[in-house]
Chain A
Amino acid sequence: EVQLLESGGGLVQPGGSLRLSCAASGFTFSTSWMHWVRQAPGKGLVWVSRLNSDGSSTAYADSVKGRFTVSRDNAKNTLYLQMNSLRAEDTAVYYCTRGRGFSAYDQRFDPWGQGTLLTVSS
C-alpha cells in the first residue's frame, strides 16, 4: 500500500523554527518527485514546495521562499521541510504528497499523507 506519514508538527513561537518529516512506503520513493501542500484552518489548499527525485531541483511558493527548505533522504525514504522565521500566517496542516506526471508542469498530487498541524503563536 502506498503510504505517506508526516510528523514533526507542533506549537512554535513567531520567529522560531521547526522541521517536518514525511516517511514514504509502498512505492519507489527515490524516483518520485515530492511536494508539500498546506491548508490553514478552514481554508483552501496552498502549494508550498517541490523537490525532484534526486534532490537537485527545488521550487517554492513566494510566501515561503527564503524561509523554508525542502530536502530528502532517499536511503531513508523520507522527505523533510525545514521551516525558519515562522510567522502566524504559516499556521496550517502540512501535507506531503507524491507528484505524478511527465514534467514539472503537469504534476498531480497522489497520494497524500494525513497531514501534520503547525501552529505559530506566542
Chain B
Amino acid sequence: QSVLTQPPSVSGAPGQRVTISCTGSSSNIGATYDVHWYQQLPGTAPKLLIYDNSNRPSGVPDRFSGSKSGTSASLAITGLQAEDEADYFCQSYDSSLSGYVFGTGTKVTVL
C-alpha cells in the first residue's frame, strides 16, 4: 500500500553524510502536501524527526535536515553516529486515496 518509495537501505561510516530519498507522485508530494519524517529505533515506536518538509521538533539534533522538491523529498543525516542506526519513514497526504501515506522505509546502518 506504500505509494511513497524509499531505498531499502543506506549505510555510512561514523561522521559521514547519508541521504534518504522519498519519491511520490502528483497526488501526494507533488500536490504540495507537506512531507514528514519519522525515526524508528529497533523495538520502539516511531518518533517524529522532521515535519513540514524541513522543520525539526525540539530536541532533534541539527544533524538531521529535510528538503522537498517536485514529487520528491529527502532526509539528510550529517555527522552520522552509531545511535542513528534505525528505520526511517517519510509520510504525506494523498488526495487520490483521501488518506495518509508512508514511505516504504529505509534502514540506516552505521558501518
Q: With A and B bound together, what is the CA distance between A114 and B52 in angstroms?
A: 24
Q: B residues engaging A (CB < 8 A)?
A: 1-2, 33-34, 36, 38, 44-48, 51-52, 57, 89, 91, 93, 97-105
Assess whether A122 is interfacial by the CB under 8 Å rule: no
B100–A62 contact, CB under 8 A? no
CB-CB under 8 A from A56, the residues of chain B are none
Q: With A and B bound together, what is the CA distance between A111 and B49 in angstroms?
A: 11
Assess whether A1 is interfacial by the CB under 8 Å rule: no
B48–A111 contact, CB under 8 A? yes
13 new A-B contacts at CB < 8 Å, known A50-B99, A108-B91: A35-B100, A44-B89, A44-B105, A45-B105, A46-B1, A61-B1, A100-B51, A105-B93, A108-B51, A108-B52, A109-B91, A112-B45, A114-B45
Q: With A and B bound together, what is the CA distance between A113 and B47 in angstroms?
A: 10
State how many residues of chain A have any CB contact under 8 Å with chain B: 27
Interchain nearest-CB distance for A10 vs B (Å): 19
A44–B91 contact, CB under 8 A? no
Q: A residues engaging B (CB < 8 A)?
A: 35, 37, 44-47, 50, 59-63, 95, 100-101, 104-115
CB-CB under 8 A from A50, the residues of chain B are 99-100
B101–A95 contact, CB under 8 A? no
B45–A47 contact, CB under 8 A? no
